[in-house]
Amino acid sequence: MDNIILIAVAAVVGLAIGFAIAKMMEKGKASKTIANAKKEAADIIKEAKKEGESIKKDKIFQAKEKFLELKAEHEKVIINKDKKIGEAEKRTRDKESQVSSELAKNKKLNDQLQEKIKEVAYKSDILDKKQSEVEKLHKSQVQQLEVISGLSAEDAKAQLLESLKETAKSDAMAYLQNTLEEAKLTAQQEARKIVVNTIQRIGTEEAVENCVSVFNLESDDVKGRIIGREGRNIRALESATGVEIIVDDTPEAIILSCFDSVRREVARLSLHRLVTDGRIHPARIEEVVKKTEKQINEEIAEIGKRTVIDLGIHGLHPELIKAVGRMKYRSSYGQNLLQHSREVAKLCGVMAAELGLNPKIAKRAGLLHDIGKVPMAEVEVETPHAILGMQWAQKYGEKEEVCNAIGAHHDEVEMTTLISPIVQVCDAISGARPGARRQVLDSYIQRLKDLEDIAFGFNGVQKAYAIQAGRELRVIVESEKVNDDKAAELSFEISQKIQTDMTYPGQVKVTVIRETRSVNVAK
C-alpha cells in the first residue's frame, strides 16, 4: 500500500516536474519568437524610415525643380514685360521728340507770319503816306501845267485819252479775243454742267503709293537667317531683285526700299516664300526670285485683262493689255496709275455720251492715255510719255482718234478730234480730285505764299488769300484807291503776272473784291 502511494506521489511529482519543464521550454520558445518578432519589427521600421527618407528627398528635389521652373518662367515673363515697356517708352520718347519738333516748326512759322504781318502793315503805312504826298504833288503839278499850257485839266485829260485810245483799244481787243476764244472752247455753262454731272457719277478710291514696303516677321530670330553668314543671303536677295533691304532695330519687321513697285512686290513675295519654306541660301534665293517674277508677270497680264473686261473694251492688243496691267505698279504724284486711268476712262465715257460722241472710243483713249508712263524698254524713257504712248498705240493698230487723244492730252501734238479735249479734261479732273495726288508740304506752302505775294505787289490791295489748294486767289482791295473799272483791270493784271512768273498745275482763278461801306453812329 505504501509502495502504491510512493509510486503515485512519484508520478505526480514527475508530472509536475515535466509540466514545469514544458512550461519553461514553451516560455523560452515564446521569448525567442518575441525577440525575433521585435527584430523583424525593428528591421521593418528601419527599412520604412530609410524608404521614407528617400521619398522625402525625392519630393524635396521635385519641389525644388518645380520652383526653379516656375521661377525661370516668371523671370522670362518679367523680361518680356520689361522689353515691351522699354519699347513703349522708346515710342513715347520718339512721339514726344516729333511733337516737340512740330511745335518748334509751327512756332517758327508763326513768328515768320507775325513778322510778315508787321512788315506788310509797315509797308501799308508807308504807301499811304507816299500816296498822300503823290496826290498833293499831282495837284500842284496839274495846276502848274494848267498855267503853262493854258488848258484846263479836263481838256488835257481829253487829249491824253485821245492819244491813249488806240493803245487801249488794241489791248482791249486782244483781251476780248482771248476771252471769246476761251468761251468758245469751254462752252462755259454747258461744259460746267457736263463736268459736274460726270464727276458726281464717277467716284473711285485713291491709293497712295510709297517707295518702301514693310515685311512683317513672326520673330526677330528670322532676321539672322535672312542676313546669312557674313551677309551673303541679303546680298544675294538684293542682287536678284534690285531692292534695298534694310534690317534695323525695328521689331519683327524688315523694310524693302525701291522706287519700282514691281521690284518691291517681287522682293516681298520672295521673302515670304523663303521664310515660310525655311531654306534660305543664295541658290534657293535665285530660284524663288525667278519663280516670283514669272508669277508677277502672269498677274500683270491678268490685271490688264480684268481691267479691259470691266470697262467693256474689246480687241486690245496683248502688249497693250500687259502695259495696262503694269500700271498697277506705277504712280504719278502719289496717285496709282491704274486707278487714275480707270477713272479717266469712266469719265471720258460719261462725258462722250453726254456730248453725243462714241463712249467706247472715249473709254479706250482714256484708259490708254498714260501707257507711255510704263516704258517697255529703258531706252524709251527720254521720250515724253504722251508721244511714247501715241507711238505704241499706232504700232499696235489703234484708231487714229485714239492715238491723237493719247498724244494730245498734254498738248504735245495738235488735237484733231473731239475725243482729244475730252481726254485732256478728264485727265485734269482725275488729277485735281481732292486727295488724289500729293505734293511736298514745303513747296505747296511756298506756292501759296508766292501767289499772295504777287497780289500784294499791286497798289490798292488790302488783303489776299490763296484758297482751294492754290486754285483760286481772292484779293480784297481798298475802295478809296480802286474803283470798279480799276478792279477789273487789276484782276487781269494779277492773272497775267501769275501766268508769267509762276509754275502751277491747272488754272488759277483771280477774284478781286471791292466793297464800299458807309458807317454813321446814332447818338
Does residue 276 sit in helix, strand or coil? helix
Core vs surface per residue 296-335: b (16+ CB within 10 A) or e: beeebbebbbebbeebebeebeeebbbbbbbbbbbbbeeb
* 445, pLDDT greater than 80: no
> Residues 29-57: what's their mean pLDDT?
82
CB-count exposure of residue 68 (10 Å: 0-12, 13-18, 19+): exposed
Please give the average per-residue pLDDT across 63-68, as a whole number: 86
Residues 402, 404, 406, 409, CA torsion sign: negative
Flag whether pLDDT at 40 surpasses 50: yes
Report the 3 state secondary structure along 68-101. Answer: HHHHHHHHHHHHHHHHHHHHHHHHHHHHHHHHHH
Per-residue burial over 446-457, b = 16 or more CB atoms within 10 Å of its CB, e = otherwise: ebbebbbebbee
Give me the amino acid identity at 80.
N
When mean pLDDT is compared over 137-141, 176-180, 220-224, 380-384, the highest value belongs to 137-141
Q: Which helix (H) or strand (E) holds 282?
A: helix 282-311
422 or 208, which is more confident: 422
Distance CA 423, CA 341 (A): 10
Retrieve residue 147's grid coordinates: 498855267
> Higher model confidence: residue 332 or residue 498?
498
Model confidence at 384, in pLDDT bands (50, 70, 90)? confident
Sign of CA dihedral 43, 46, 50, 53: positive
Which residue has better confidence, 202 or 480? 480
Which grid coordinates belong to 77?
515673363
Question: Which pLDDT belongs to residue 380?
Answer: 46
Checking if the pLDDT of 435 tops 70, the result is no
pLDDT at position 206: 45
SS3 481: coil
What is the residue type of 471? R
Strands 472-477 and 461-467: antiparallel
Write out pLDDT tens, residues 269-293: 888 888 888 788 888 888 888 888 8
Report pLDDT digits (tens) over 190-209.
666 665 555 545 545 444 44
CB 451 within 8 A of CB 465: no
Mean pLDDT of 241-253: 76
Residue 208: DSSP 8-state: B
Q: Quote the pLDDT of residue 314.
A: 86
Distance (Å, rounded) from C-alpha 17 to C-alpha 38? 31
Q: What mean pLDDT is reported for the chain?
A: 79
* Predicted confidence band of residue 378 (pLDDT cuts 50, 70, 90): very low
Q: In the predicted model, is pLDDT for residue 259 greater than 80?
A: no
Given this model, what pLDDT does residue 322 score?
86
Mean pLDDT of 145-169: 69
CB 227 within 8 A of CB 247: yes
Q: Is the pLDDT of residue 150 over 70?
A: no
Q: Which pLDDT belongs to residue 437? A: 61
State the helix-helix crossing angle for 153-186 and 2-149, rounded to 10 degrees: 140
Is residue 317 within 8 A of residue 396, CB to CB? The reply is: yes
**Residues in Cβ contact with 49 at an 8 Å cutoff, skipping those fewer than 6 apart:** none
What is the phi-psi region of residue 86: left when phi exceeds 0, alpha when psi lies from -120 to 50, beta otherwise? alpha
Tell me the residue type at 154. Answer: E
Which of 498, 204, 396, 169 shows the shortest CA–CA distance to 490? 498
306-309: long-range pairs with CB below 8 Å, 24+: 307/338, 307/342, 307/367, 308/367
Residues 445-452 have a mean pLDDT of 80
Q: Which residue has the higher pLDDT, 494 or 373?
A: 494
pTM flag (> 0.85): no
How does pLDDT run across 307-339, given as a tens digit for each residue?
888 888 888 888 888 888 888 877 776 677 888
Cell 486690245, residue located? 316
